[in-house]
């Protein structure tokens, strides 16, 4: 049995250090260091990270960096960039960095430079986007495309949805974008009710072209189109394109394989936004701005690869997450964007982080004896303030949070942005400082509240504070800035995976659910029996649904 990471000397040193800090508050740390912001902030790629509101000192960071070195983080980063099979259970590299490699320096997989293939697909995407925007790509009846419906799920949906929404202000070509992912027919039918079959383009995004949810929706959309065109199969090739690796299945569906955009098995689904999976994004914002998105991500890739660990934004964020998860018992982490166009970012990061790090065995296949991925959740501010912030301020859970704040809105209007910024700053300040008994009592006295009423209200209106947070600030959300932000979180996940000795690039738990669903489907469709090992609950519910 190998040595697990919680047996390392640096791990034990961090445990002892946490005990020393257990009774130290964040306000006390600010009082001890008048330049704490300067000492605990770093800037790169248009992003300012203020991590001064953490239960951490310089000694904390030094010890976390020792842990990173003991876990050979720098070596793992080199292995990632050199195309080694860091996804060891599937014997693959994880080269999402190649998809946005704007420097075009060679990146090798099995001795072959992948950049010519990557560039060729990007060129084909650009040509296709231009054809649609110029009106050269016409539907079967000769009308130009007005609506694009992306049919996918997981990484083929969450990333494109989030980015297309976030960059709506940069939309080009006048296309309306729709996304269908859920196998529940309501999702597809409500979308089809809003589009015209003669001016709609469907993108079917499935690596194998066999994903159950995606192909069921795709076949239903196909039938809907054929009903409009009275069964004319030639219409399919003018209204459907594919993002896939399965030429035979794409051709069998009726899609012209010249309109199939490839990607590779070294691209994991939740890291695939930068590949042809980003086709709906490119159609929405234009190829030039899609390349700016790639460029921002590449800039963050270079920062992650070259910056010293102590000044490296993804490294600092990853180590702080390890600090809270393993040494403070924090089971969740909140994502709180104060930029409404990032409203889908928490859902996107749920997949990125929990599908990557939701593992209970290490790289050697041994069950770990320490906590791994915290639960990721959140919502856009200010909405969250009127929903769950009560728990953050006065609940019983320690909830580290990332506040993501734009200095300028994409859509400036009057005093809206100052109001947004005041709330973001107020929440980080209030969460860290709280309000003690003396301050609460003085406030109530100033309001003329009686002594008897003060005694009653005091416990309910006191806040212990000391809730940690990071604040990520940028000037304005552009395609390049968003690319850097997403890549930052991708690399943070990699840092955490190294410190926890996990493979962040497989997702066997997702596969299990698919396999069980496929085994139950014949019983629900009346074409077979339930598996013999089904429990009594499953059997009873199958009977109920059959009625």
| Catalytically active residues, by annotation | 355, 386, 514
3-class SS letters over 350-392: HHHHHHHHCCCECCCCCECCCCCCCEEEECCCCHHHHCCHHHH
CB 362, CB 502: distance < 8 Å: yes
The H or E element spanning position 430 is: helix 416-433
Q: What's CA 220's distance to the chain center, in Å?
A: 29
Segment 327-331 long-range contacts (CB within 8 Å, at least 24 positions apart) = 327/14, 327/15, 327/17, 327/18, 328/18, 328/55, 328/398, 329/371, 329/398, 330/374, 330/397, 330/398, 330/399, 330/400, 331/371, 331/374, 331/375, 331/397
Report in angstroms the alpha-carbon separations of 329 from 63, 184, 332, 371, 373.
Answer: 18, 37, 9, 8, 11
Distance CA(236)–CA(256), nearest Å, equals 9
Distance CA(41)–CA(38), nearest Å, equals 6
The H or E element spanning position 485 is: helix 479-500
3-state secondary structure at position 301: helix
Residues 6+ apart with CB under 8 A from 355: 154, 270, 507, 510
CB 338, CB 296: distance < 8 Å: no
């Amino acid at each position: 049995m190998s040595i697990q990471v919680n047996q390392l000397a640096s791990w034990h040193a961090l445990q002892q250090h946490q005990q020393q800090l257990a009774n130290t508050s964040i306000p006390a740390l600010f009082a001890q260091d008048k330049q704490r912001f300067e000492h605990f902030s770093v800037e790169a790629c248009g992003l300012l990270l203020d991590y001064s509101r953490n239960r951490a000192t310089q000694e904390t960071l030094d010890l976390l960096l020792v842990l990173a070195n003991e876990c050979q983080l720098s070596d793992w980063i080199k292995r990632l960039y050199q195309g080694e099979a860091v996804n060891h259970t599937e014997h693959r590299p994880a080269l999402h960095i190649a998809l946005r490699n704007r420097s075009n320096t060679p990146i090798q997989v099995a001795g072959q430079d992948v950049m010519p293939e990557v560039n060729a697909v990007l060129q084909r995407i650009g040509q296709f986007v231009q054809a649609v925007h110029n009106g050269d790509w016409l539907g079967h009846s000769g009308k130009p495309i007005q609506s694009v419906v992306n049919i996918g799920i997981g990484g083929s949906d969450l990333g494109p949805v989030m980015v297309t929404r976030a960059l709506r202000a940069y939309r080009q070509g006048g296309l309306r974008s729709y996304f269908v992912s859920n196998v529940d027919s309501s999702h597809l039918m409500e979308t089809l009710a809003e589009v015209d079959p003669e001016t709609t383009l469907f993108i079917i995004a499935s690596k194998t072209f066999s994903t159950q949810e995606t192909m069921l929706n795709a076949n239903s959309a196909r039938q809907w189109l054929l009903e409009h065109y009275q069964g004319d199969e030639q219409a399919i090739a003018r209204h459907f394109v594919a993002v896939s690796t399965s030429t035979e299945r794409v051709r069998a569906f009726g899609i012209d394989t010249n309109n199939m955009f490839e990607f590779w098995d070294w691209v994991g689904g939740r890291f695939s936004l930068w590949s042809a999976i980003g086709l709906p994004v490119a159609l929405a914002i234009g190829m030039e701005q899609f390349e700016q998105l790639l460029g921002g991500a590449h800039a963050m890739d270079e920062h992650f690869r070259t910056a010293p660990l102590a000044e490296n934004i993804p490294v600092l964020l990853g180590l702080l997450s390890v600090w809270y998860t393993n040494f403070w018992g924090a089971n969740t982490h909140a994502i709180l964007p104060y930029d409404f166009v990032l409203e889908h970012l928490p859902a996107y990061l749920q997949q990125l982080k929990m599908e990557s790090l939701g593992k209970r065995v290490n790289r050697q296949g041994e069950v770990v004896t320490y906590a791994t991925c915290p639960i990721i959740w959140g919502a856009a501010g200010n909405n969250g303030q009127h929903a769950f912030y009560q728990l953050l301020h006065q609940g019983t859970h320690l909830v580290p949070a990332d506040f993501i704040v734009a200095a300028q809105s994409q859509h400036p209007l009057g005093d809206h942005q100052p109001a947004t910024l005041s709330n973001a700053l107020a929440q980080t300040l209030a969460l860290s400082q709280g309000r003690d008994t003396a301050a609460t009592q003085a406030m109530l006295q100033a309001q003329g509240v009686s002594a008897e009423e003060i005694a009653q209200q005091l416990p309910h209106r006191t806040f212990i504070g000391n809730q940690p947070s990071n604040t990520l600030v940028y000037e304005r959300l552009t395609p390049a800035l968003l690319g850097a932000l997403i890549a930052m979180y991708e690399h943070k996940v990699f840092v955490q995976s190294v410190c926890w000795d996990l493979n962040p690039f497989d997702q066997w738990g997702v596969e299990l659910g698919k396999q069980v669903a496929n085994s139950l489907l014949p019983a629900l469709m009346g074409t077979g029996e339930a598996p013999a090992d089904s429990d009594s609950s499953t059997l009873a519910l199958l009977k109920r649904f059959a009625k």
